[in-house]
Amino acid sequence: MTSTAAAFLPSPRRYDEGIAAELRQVTSGSRRHRRYQRPVDGLSLELRRGEVTTLLSRHDRSGGRLLDLLDGRVPVSQGSVRVAGHEVSGLDPRELFRLRREQVTRVQPGYGIYPKLTVRQNLVIAQRRSGRAADLRWIDEVTESLGLSGMLGYHDQPGADVRRARLAVARSLVGRPALLLVDHVSAPLAWPDKTALTDALRLAASRLRVAAVIASHDPVTASATDRVVLMNRGRVIDDTGVAADAS
């Protein structure tokens, strides 16, 4: 019998391998209280590997909505969303599950962490839970890149928040995703040391060639990342990054 595993996702078109995700003229909205609202409205954006991008929105949830579009949690009304060359729009639940497991993941603070185990043991457990066989070479590369080693008994110890942030990022990397998402808007208290989080994301992006995206209301967090996309009412009103500064 022919295996259908390869049919879960549509074949990727030819694309720039440096682009982890791209949105083309994306609109996402819903009717609420008899009014049609567009948290994302006609937005086009490219997210490149090796960069940390902050989606900065001061008074709305447009940044968080964009994260939901990137991992398929909410549908696209118009336009196209692609992650690692795969079209996200229109995937069925089985295909979405595989896309999230293989290409896009959210950084969860403190989730599934065992302080009495080593970093390596924690990451092996995380990788097996994701449905993959343990890849010790990749785990060791992630651990070394983020400066992690030894036990995780970090409670009430100096530098605990730094290690906690780096481990949360490392745990999200065990599946070799193209895209790391951090919803800083909905869980601001989960990251007591914001600098530790942004430092960990920058290490992961630059050394492991992934794209990291933070949805935030905090300009201080944004200032520590490679690129700041300022959003208002679902539209990009400014895009400042390394490429823009160099030009």
pLDDT digits (tens, 9 = 90+) for 21-33: 999 999 887 655 5
The most confident of 132-136, 228-232, 237-241, by mean pLDDT: 228-232
Asked if 98 contacts 84 with a C-beta cutoff of 8 angstroms, the reply is no
The per-residue pLDDT for range 27-67, each reduced to its tens digit, is 887 655 555 567 788 889 999 999 999 999 887 788 888 99
Asked if 179 contacts 145 with a C-beta cutoff of 8 angstroms, the reply is no
Q: Inform me whether the pLDDT recorded for 14 exceeds 80.
A: no
Q: Inform me whether the pLDDT recorded for 187 exceeds 60.
A: no
Confidence of residue 13 (pLDDT cuts 50, 70, 90): very low
User: For the residues 5-19, what does the mean pLDDT come to?
Assistant: 54
- pLDDT score recorded for residue 12: 46
Q: Which two tokens stand for residue 62?
A: 């447009």
The DSSP code sequence of 182-242 is EETTT-GGG-S-HHHHHHHHHHHHHHHT-EEEEEES-HHHHHTSSEEEEEETTEEEEEE-H
List Cβ neighbours of 46 (8 Å cut-off, separation of 6 or more). Answer: 19, 21, 22, 23
Confidence of residue 7 (pLDDT cuts 50, 70, 90): very low
The per-residue pLDDT for range 220-230, each reduced to its tens digit, is 889 999 999 99
Q: Is 118 helix (H, G, I), strand (E, B) or coil?
A: strand
Q: Which two tokens stand for residue 127?
A: 């990788």
Q: Inform me whether the pLDDT recorded for 20 exceeds 80.
A: yes
Q: Which two tokens stand for residue 31?
A: 């009717």
